[in-house]
Amino acid sequence: MTRQRPISPFESVYFLDLGAAGLPLYDMPEFVESLVRGRPDITLTRRALGLLTEHHPILRSEVTSGEGGLLLRVRDRVQPPLTVLDGIEDTYAELINSRPDWTESLLHAWLLTDGERSQVVLGVHHGVADGRSAFALLDEFWQYYTALAAGADPSPERREALPEAIDTRLAGAFPDAEIDALVDAIAQGAAADAKPATLPTDGLGRPDRPAEARRFVVDRLEFAPRTTEAVVDAARARGVTVNSLVTGLVMTAVRAQLAPEYGPLTMTCGHGVDLRTRLTPQLPLSSVLNCITGLQTTLAVRYDDRPETVGREVAGQVASSLDRRDPERFLLAALRAGARGIAVPVPVVTYGISNVGRIPAHPVPEDMELLRFGGTANAPGMPPKIGVASFGGRLLVQNEYDSWTYGPEQMRTLRETLRASLTDLVTDRVRATPGPEGENQP
């Protein structure tokens, strides 16, 4: 039984402050949240949080030093801190710009209240969990809370063994010669292509930049179920997935803000790949562990390219990369290069695309109503990203960006372009189907 293990090289970038030379991931949190009509009981909330740590030993872990470096060590008991705050929208906007004290717990929670509405927010250290883990934790929290509110006494299995890190699981999955060849390519700069086009940045010196407490912005476009179905139909009619269609809309919308008007511009999409599903056997999606790595797709985009054409090309590149197992191979090569002192360049990305997929609505007690749920993760220096997901049958297209780097006007233009494009795609179908629902933007 492993109650202590080294923090792996893949995980270490979230636990070591590498300064300007590294990725901006040190102590980065992943936030997930549920907005409900009703008031959660504070005592039951604390009990449900405690059950999460009972079930997932990595959430009971502390970070400590060993002879070979940092370790994760499981503690017997951890009660995640719960903070109660007044207000929701403004309070949440400031909360997602904060960094919890992870020495107390790798899981924190907040209860935000405003009248009859409440928002439960979970914050988990990104070194031990990714978006899949965090949304699974949110669902598990509400399962425990709902059971407790009904008078039940849920007793999840208390686990003691820490899960292996994803790079540890992948070790030996490829021949050493194959990974060494990729390391040599990194050392020789073989992958150093021309930098892709990106949105202009205002830089840190902009005089009207927001306060640090409002630096990271989450801009939601949320659509009702009937409109969501119409978007799915519109994508299907064009022979693409919803994620591919939104990817094409994002890239063409960004392209429209760049000069020159005509001719191709090189643009790069950044994608997250969940390595749980790449293992044999696969890890359950509910495994609390950081298993997300990156993948880039580069293409030439013209001013008048159709969104579905761009999205289809990106989807084809992603599929080919997955078939070649590029995410796993390049992750292992980058870690091996770093261990040999070889500088691994940080990829330049035009826009990140985070395809969360379909997340079913989680339970809530009978005296509550689930209004919405979602999540975000951001850090200084990260490129802007669009999150695409279906939460409880409602399409969410969410723009997340660092407002110290990207100006409000360019992001407002992007948002309105995306909203108008999606609305235009489905207007005819929505009008043809009777009903009161349309776009909802909480």
Q: What is the pLDDT along the chain (442 residues), one digit of tens a residue?
A: 689 999 999 999 999 987 655 667 899 999 999 999 999 999 999 999 999 999 999 999 999 998 889 999 999 999 999 999 999 999 999 999 999 999 999 999 999 999 999 999 999 999 999 999 999 999 999 999 999 999 999 999 999 999 999 999 999 999 999 999 999 999 988 555 678 999 988 655 567 788 999 999 999 999 999 999 999 999 999 999 999 999 999 999 999 999 887 889 999 999 999 999 999 999 998 999 999 999 999 999 999 999 999 999 999 999 999 999 999 999 999 999 999 999 888 889 999 999 988 999 999 999 999 999 999 999 988 899 999 999 999 999 999 999 999 988 899 999 999 999 999 988 855 555 554 444 443 3
Domain 169-440, what architecture? 2-Layer Sandwich (3.30)
Residue-level pLDDT at 425: 87
- List all residues 6 or more positions away from 432 whose beta carbon is below 8 Å from its beta carbon: none
CB atoms within 10 A of CB 6: 16
* Amino acid (1-letter code) at residue 42: I
- Which run of H or of E encompasses 137? helix 131-149
Distance between CA atoms of residues 73 and 161, nearest Å: 10
Q: Which CATH class is domain 4-149?
A: alpha beta
Tell how strand 394-402 and strand 216-223 pair up.
Answer: antiparallel
Contact criterion met (CB below 8 Å) for 161 and 287: no
Check the CA dihedral 349-377-275-170 and report its sign: positive
Residue-level pLDDT at 429: 58
Residue-level pLDDT at 441: 39
Distance between CA atoms of residues 77 and 112, nearest Å: 26
Tell me how far apart the 2 most distant CA atoms of the chain are, in Å.
Answer: 68
Tell how strand 351-359 and strand 265-274 pair up.
Answer: parallel
Residue-level pLDDT at 440: 40
Helix (H/G/I), strand (E/B), else coil: 206:
coil
On the question of a common fold for 4-149 and 169-440, the answer reads yes
Contact criterion met (CB below 8 Å) for 252 and 310: yes
For residue 260, is the peptide bond before it cis, meaning its omega torsion is within 30 degrees of 0?
yes
pTM for the whole structure: 0.93
Distance between CA atoms of residues 391 and 373, nearest Å: 7
Tokens representing residue 35 in the block? 């907005």
Residue-level pLDDT at 442: 33
HSE-up of residue 109 (Cα within 13 Å, Cβ side): 26
- Which run of H or of E encompasses 223? strand 216-223
Residue-level pLDDT at 376: 96
Distance between CA atoms of residues 172 and 195, nearest Å: 33
What are the boundaries of each domain within the chain? 4-149, 169-440
Contact criterion met (CB below 8 Å) for 221 and 249: no
Helix (H/G/I), strand (E/B), else coil: 312:
helix
